[in-house]
Structure formats: structure tokens, C-alpha cells
């Protein structure tokens, strides 16, 4: 079954990446990691945050933005950029089953070239004067809404 996917642009913090990968494993969502990362992907902190869930998530690694972008264009996938700077509120945006939700770097977001490549920009409403949520929390919220809209949740285990 096709469903929305997640991509991490040059993640900085292994604990956040591990948490995002664990969430993706639980929701059965593939993750692309676009390098370079700010840590070794075999880092102990990544494994600690992801626990024993990491073998249960499909992770595709890309050396750079260009190699990722070529693959997603060939697959006709939209990039939905999660951003704290403008965009449609998440609850008003219409996700599609082949979307890729792109999360930026914790320290710097994404560069303008990547922002311009996005098919849409989506934000999570946050009360002023606060700026943003943790990237792992935001990724979970984005995935939940995309899966809810596209009926992409994994089946519930029997009671």
C-alpha cells in the first residue's frame, strides 16, 4: 500500500533522528535521510533513541539533496516542506498518498534552493510568541495528519 513518506534534510541531532525513525517504524512509514548528517548514522545516541525499532523502518540514505531530488522526481512525488516560516496550516492542507514530508535541519531548516523545490509548505500552528516544536514532535504530528487524511495507518492489532 502506498502512503506518505518522510525525509530528513541533513539532520543534526542523533536523538531526534532516532526518535523520528522509531515513530516511522511504528507507523510503517519509509524515511529518506539526506546527507550529510551532523553525526555518524551508526552513532550510539541514534541507536539509543531508536531502541530496537530501527530494523523495522525502511531507511534510504542519500549523499546529498540532488541525488534525493532526482529519485523523487522520477517517482512523481510531491515534497511537502514542514516549516516554521509560513505555509498552509497542517489541518487545512490536503495530503496525497505519494507525498514526502520533508523536515529541515534542527539548526538551520533548509536552504532556499530546497525551499523553492517544495511543492507545498505546511506549518503547525503554534501560539505566539513561541517559535516551534521539537523536530521529532513536529514530524510525528505531520505524519499523523498525512496518514489520517490518506487512510494510511497500519492495521490495528487484534484485541
Report the residue count for the chain.
159
Residue 155 forms part of a structural domain: no
pTM: 0.94
Task: Give the model's pLDDT for residue 45.
Answer: 66
Task: Give the model's pLDDT for residue 49.
Answer: 67
Residue 158 forms part of a structural domain: no
Nearest-angstrom CA–CA distance, 159 and 138: 30
Residue 83 forms part of a structural domain: yes
For all residues of the chain together, what is the average pLDDT? Answer: 92
Q: What is the CATH number of the domain that holds 92?
A: 3.40.1280.10
- pLDDT of 40-87, one tens digit each? 887 676 677 667 888 899 999 999 999 999 999 999 999 999 999 888
Comparison of pLDDT for 52 and 153, the residue scoring more: 153
How many degrees, rounded to 5, is the angle at CA 73 between CA 68 and CA 37? 15
Nearest-angstrom CA–CA distance, 64 and 11: 12
Residue 157 forms part of a structural domain: no
Task: Give the model's pLDDT for residue 52.
Answer: 84
Residue 143 forms part of a structural domain: yes
Q: How many structural domains is the chain composed of?
A: 1
Task: Give the model's pLDDT for residue 147.
Answer: 97
Domain with 13 in it: 5-150
Residue 21 forms part of a structural domain: yes
Residue 156 forms part of a structural domain: no
Amino acid at each position: 500500500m502506498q502512503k506518505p513518506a518522510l525525509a530528513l534534510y541533513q539532520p543534526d541531532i542523533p536523538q531526534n533522528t532516532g526518535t523520528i525513525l522509531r515513530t516511522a517504524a511504528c507507523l510503517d512509514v519509509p524515511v529518506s535521510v539526506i546527507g550529510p548528517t551532523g553525526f555518524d548514522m551508526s552513532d550510539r545516541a541514534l541507536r539509543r533513541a531508536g531502541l530496537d525499532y530501527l530494523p523495522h523502518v525502511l531507511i534510504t540514505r542519500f549523499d546529498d539533496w540532488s541525488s534525493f531530488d532526482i529519485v523523487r522526481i522520477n517517482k512523481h512525488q510531491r515534497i511537502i516542506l514542514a516549516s516554521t516560516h509560513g505555509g498552509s496550516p497542517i489541518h487545512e492542507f490536503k495530503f496525497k498518498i505519494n507525498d514526502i514530508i520533508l523536515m529541515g535541519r534542527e539548526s538551520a531548516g533548509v536552504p532556499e534552493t530546497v525551499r523553492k523545490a517544495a511543492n507545498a509548505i505546511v506549518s503547525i500552528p503554534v501560539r505566539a510568541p513561541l517559535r516551534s516544536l521539537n523536530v521529532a514532535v513536529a514530524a510525528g504530528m505531520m505524519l499523523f495528519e498525512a496518514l489520517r487524511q490518506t487512510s494510511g495507518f497500519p492495521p490495528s492489532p487484534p484485541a
